[in-house]
Structure formats: structure tokens, C-alpha cells
Amino acid sequence: MPGTGIADLIAFVRARLADTERQADLFHELTCTDLAVTGAQACPGVGPLSCRCPAPARLTDTAEALRRSVDACEQRIRRVSLQDPGGLLDALGAEQVLRALALPFELHPGWCPRWYPGTD
Ligand SMILES: [Zn+2]
């Protein structure tokens, strides 16, 4: 059974962002004409070959940006030392950011209710 600590939260968010990137080409604009032509034959992970709508790239770009945020939060948490109370506050703030990044995935079976932003 997975844990609910900060390392688990980080791993959860990273996995969900990887899911998003892997599935990005399944999502298209409603007006994506290439999808209308080729969508019936598109395989998961392949998608229409000539699609020019921005939806798949937007999803992967967003996932990449959020992954950089996860990296930054993880660094802030790793830098904590007992001799630096300010660093502890920064780490707590970073954890809240990670919880906010996890919240859109709260329906995933791996999500933990203890990760709601603002809870202990
Ligand atoms: Zn498209």
C-alpha cells in the first residue's frame, strides 16, 4: 500500500504528469478536422499524424512546466535544516504547492485525502 508522506506526494504528482504527457495526443480541439478524418483509426499514443490543433502540445507544455515546479518544490524541501527556521517555512510552502498540483488528480485511486491543501 502506498504511503502518504511527502515523497509519496511528489511521486504521485510526477506519475500523473507523466500520464498526462503520455495521453496528450488523445485530446484535441472540437474543431480538429484531422481528428475527424483519422481519429477512428488513431491508436492510443499515436494520434492523428497531421493534426495542427494546439491541444496536445498545450497539454505536454503544461505538464513540462508543472514538472519544473515539482522539481523546484522538491529542492526547497530537501534544503530544510533544523538550524534554518526560514527554510522550514519555505518547505512547508513548497508542500502546499505540491498538494495544489496533486488536487486536479483527486479522483485517481492513488490520491490521498490527507493531501488536500491546507490540511495537516
Ligand atoms: Zn487535433
pLDDT (0 to 100) of residue 38: 52
pLDDT (0 to 100) of residue 6: 93
Domain limits, the chain: 6-110
Q: Give every CB contact of residue 50 below 8 A, 6+ residues apart in sequence.
A: 34, 38
Q: What average pLDDT does this structure show over 83-100? A: 90
Number of other CB atoms surrounding residue 47 within 10 Å: 19
Please spell the DSSP secondary structure of 13-56, one letter per residue.
Answer: HHHHHHHHHHHGGG---TT-HHHHHHTTTPPTTT--TT---SHH
Instruction: Tell me the per-residue pLDDT of 36-75, one tens digit each, with 9 for 90 and over.
Output: 555 444 445 544 456 778 898 999 999 999 999 999 999 9
Centre of ligand 1 from the C-alpha of residue 31, in Å: 8
Centre of ligand 1 from the C-alpha of residue 36, in Å: 9
Centre of ligand 1 from the C-alpha of residue 95, in Å: 35
Assign 1 a pLDDT band (cuts: 50, 70, 90). very low
Residue 43 to residues 46, 49, 54, Cα–Cα distance (Å): 5, 11, 19
- Cell 506519475 belongs to residue: 15
Centre of ligand 1 from the C-alpha of residue 55, in Å: 7
Instruction: Note if the pTM is more than 0.85.
Output: no
Centre of ligand 1 from the C-alpha of residue 29, in Å: 6
- Give burial (CB, 10 Å; 0-12/13-18/19+) of 44: exposed
Centre of ligand 1 from the C-alpha of residue 73, in Å: 33
* Amino acid occupying residue 103: L
Dihedral sign, Cα of residue 114, residue 106, residue 45, residue 17: negative
Instruction: Tell me the per-residue pLDDT of 17-44, one tens digit each, with 9 for 90 and over.
Output: 999 999 998 888 888 876 555 544 444 5
